[in-house]
Structure 1
Amino acid sequence: MTIRKGDVWDVDTGKGTRTILVVSLDGLADAYGAVAVNPLQLSTLRFQTGTPHGNIGPEQQELVDNALRAVLDL
């Protein structure tokens, strides 16, 4: 199983099924030195029973990246 940036999945969160978008901002660790993450959010076990819906594509991914950068700038 491969999980890529920009993929859309339906996954069971333990509180119901949610549609999620896999995000990752390139260069985040380089810009801030360290990035804290919740290991539960990284669990690929949730994806094993999930339903993949495809990838959002490069144009939409650029919009997501810009939105994440804007939040970091706040």
Structure 2
Amino acid sequence: MNRYERRPISMGEAEVQYLDGDLRIIRPGAFVRCAVTGVSIALEDLRYWNVDLQEAYASPEAKLQRLQPLSKS
């Protein structure tokens, strides 16, 4: 493999550590799952997550749905 070729990426689910404004790939993969809907989210499309809960969300609506029960307590 020369240095301009990309390494093959695992097509499975990635393990990610969600940080403030960034994320760290623990185990390479192509996607993560939304904690609310269960749909797969390509890593390059991942925009919404919760650092405290370490969860990913497919959309802002999914994140709000997840946080609704938490805010009513």
Structures share fold, TM-score greater than 0.5: no
Q: Could you state the TM-score of these two structures normalised by the residue count of structure 1?
A: 0.29
Compare relative contact order (CA 8 Å, sep 6+) and give the higher one, 1 or 2: 1
Structure 1 or 2: larger helix share? 1
**In terms of Rg, which structure is larger?**
2
Q: Could you state the TM-score of these two structures normalised by the residue count of structure 2?
A: 0.29
